Structure 1
Amino acid sequence: MRGTVTPERVAVLALDGVYPFELGIPSRILGAAGGRYEVLTCTVDGRPVRTNADFGVTVDYGPEILETADTVIVASVPSDRIPTVLPDEVAAALDRIRPDARIVSICTAAFVLAEAGLLDGRRATTHWHVADLFRRRFPQVELDPDVLFVEDGRILTSAGAAAGVDVCLHIVRSDHGSDLANFVARCCVVPPFREGGQAQYIEQPVPESGAASTAATRAWVLEHLADPLTLTDLAEHARMSLRTFARRFNDEVGLSPGRWLIQQRVARARHLLESSDLPVDRIAAEVGFATGASLRQHLHASIGVSPQTYRRTFQKSG
């Protein structure tokens, strides 16, 4: 019989002007993980804060809760409320975070972490709309504005708004495996893993009227991952020329077809490593990698571990 699970304490820091939607994401997503997380919301002084909507929020905790948190999530504020100098009370609150705690920013909260020096020399992301401003202010941070979230050691940064859902699901997946993350996603009626990155949401010309979508081909690919698919195969299925298909695919997904296909194969391989005892070579064949060595290479490039290490980690904690 499995013992009682001690929940991980997650503190969500609400700054003045916070977006209500982003503030509620951690509680909604992590709170659906079967008691594995205790989500507590605080402010820098324990007092209520105004949101960017027509109401304020009252919290039960002040910055002292940050000292006991295993994970700290900083919710985002509107771009016109991004501090140019970190307020003393915010800096003091962040100083309370334990050195070994996981720290997460949603959207523009990456500016807060960067102002505090927490992102120096690290990869990070933020909302694409303020990416240029971020680069100018923090050249010491390696910004990747094309992704939904970045994990660099104990610090995770996510892109705009709903990318907070993606990073919280990633936390559940990393801590407890894909089965629980998928369950949480179903409970919250959100996709367990979104295709592509921010590029698909960046303002761009509207496609020509009547332009065909690549969605049906993407769905078809997911049913045929074991096959040795080529770009020509995908374009023929979509009934487009290679050039048109590649351009439209990138516009819709934010990735090249080849990069997207590798992502899907790695995701399927991770699921099989967690949920089955199939040998690595068999899993490689099931997901369309030619050999076990190819799977090892792609998995290591994606998440930095071998199939054996990944399996040991998640079959224990799933």
Structure 2
Amino acid sequence: MTTVALAVTDGMLHFELALACEVFGSDMTGVVDPWYRFSVCGPSAVRLGRVQLEPDHGLDRLPCADTVIVPGWADVDQDPPAELIEAVRSAHEAGARVVSLCTGAFVLAAAGLLDGKRATTHWAHAQELAERHPEVTVDPDVLYVDNGSVLTSAGKAAAMDLCLHLVRLDHGSSIANTLARRLVVPPHRDGGQAQFVTTPVPAPDNHPLADLFPWAMQRLDHPLTVEDLARQARMSARNLGRHFRSVTGTTPLQWLHSQRIRHAQELLETTDDTIDTIAAATGMGTATTLRRHFNRTVGVSPDTYRRTFRSRTRPGPNDGGQHHRRES
């Protein structure tokens, strides 16, 4: 997935558009090579509020891209432009991976790409999407949905989660985490997490769990329990769960499981450690347990995951480029 095209027309949302440019158009020299070849495709001049954008290519170039990204569509009460719908449909038919950010899902739905599939969009527009496109199973309670060649995200910050998910699929979790650090955003939030968090995610040093997160990350090889986390945080298990839900949108055990899987991915990508060694280092205990949880979460076995990402970082003449994805 080396070429990424951002499909734009008048009336796109600034935030999601700029976010995609920042992620896929970033200069990652010295971190990974090759990075994405990124371009903006649209009419000769695109009006975004008070800003005018000059695309690199016309919409007819979308079928040439490996990945096509449709940012948020501002006026969901109006049908998206027919030329945009047709270009996105043609790109998918040509084999492109098509991604919508926020209300860009309305464009994918209009193109028929979400028929019979599960999808998401900004929670405030989920009911409208479901009513206008009853053939789509709209899930308003998740951050993003990965159907393989068609992916959709919820609004605003969830668009970043999906973009980092794409980077993780294409380049591995280590590179995705490096990019997340550059952007000063959380390196990973599972697509199945709730869109709505009861309070905004606070600054790293401004919430009751600020010291707990690094403490737990340094002890993933230990069989940590909710009681262990609560004891370290000096609060009851119930209070801990309430703070976890407020800060992360998930439970302590779900968060801990996610960190163990992410650490396993990094070790599979960057070391030659055996599966047994990685199981011990991530607190999974045995290779059997690691394989079961890894397969359930990532969608492939640890061995397959390692072969896939090793082939990307160590290219050979016979590399096949098979991509494994799961619905989040």
TM-score, reference length from structure 2: 0.83
Aligned equivalent of 1:156, options 151, 154, 177: 151
Q: What per-residue deviation string (whole Å, max 9, x for no partner) do you get for residues 114-157 of structure 1?
A: 22221122232222232333333344333333433221111111
Q: Which residue of 2 aligns with 1:82?
A: 76
Query: Does the 8 Å contact 2:3/2:67 carry over to 1?
Result: yes
Q: What per-residue deviation string (whole Å, max 9, x for no partner) do you get for residues 259-280 of structure 1?
A: 1111111011111111111111
Please give the residue correspondences for 1:275-294 in structure 2 after superposition, counting only pairs within 5 Å: 275-294=270-289
Q: Which residue of 2 aligns with 1:14?
A: 8
Aligned length: 304
**Aligned-partner Cα distance in 2 for 1:225–1:94:** 43
**Aligned-partner Cα distance in 1 for 2:156–2:200:** 22
Q: Does 1:179 align with 2:174?
A: yes
Q: Does 1:240 align with 2:235?
A: yes
Q: Which residue of 1 aligns with 2:317?
A: none
**Aligned-partner Cα distance in 2 for 1:47–1:311:** 44
**Aligned-partner Cα distance in 1 for 2:53–2:17:** 10
Q: Check 1:202–1:217 CA distance in 2 against 1; reply closer, same or farther (3 A cut).
A: closer
Moved more, 136-145 or 107-116: 136-145
Query: Does the 8 Å contact 1:196/1:260 carry over to 2?
Result: no
**Aligned-partner Cα distance in 1 for 2:182–2:251:** 31
**Aligned-partner Cα distance in 1 for 2:200–2:280:** 40
Q: Which amino acid aligns with 2:220?
A: L
* 1:98 to partner: Cα distance: 4.3
Q: Check 1:12–1:200 CA distance in 2 against 1; reply closer, same or farther (3 A cut).
A: closer
Q: Check 1:196–1:173 CA distance in 2 against 1; reply closer, same or farther (3 A cut).
A: closer
* 1:84 to partner: Cα distance: 5.0
Q: Which residue of 2 aligns with 1:63?
A: 59
**Aligned-partner Cα distance in 2 for 1:216–1:140:** 46
Moved more, 144-153 or 272-281: 144-153
Query: Does the 8 Å contact 1:120/1:141 carry over to 2?
Result: yes
Task: Report sequence identity in percent.
Answer: 45
Q: Does 1:135 align with 2:130?
A: yes
Secondary structure of 1:157's aligned partner: strand
Secondary structure of 1:215's aligned partner: coil
Q: What per-residue deviation string (whole Å, max 9, x for no partner) do you get for residues 258-314 of structure 1?
A: 111111110111111111111111111111112211111111111210010000011
Secondary structure of 1:73's aligned partner: strand
Residue segments in structure 2 that go unaligned for 5+ positions in a row: 27-31, 314-328
* 1:242 to partner: Cα distance: 1.9
Query: Does the 8 Å contact 1:22/1:76 carry over to 2?
Result: yes
Q: Check 1:83–1:216 CA distance in 2 against 1; reply closer, same or farther (3 A cut).
A: same
Secondary structure of 1:104's aligned partner: strand
Aligned equivalent of 1:48, options 36, 45, 48: 45
Q: Does 1:267 align with 2:262?
A: yes
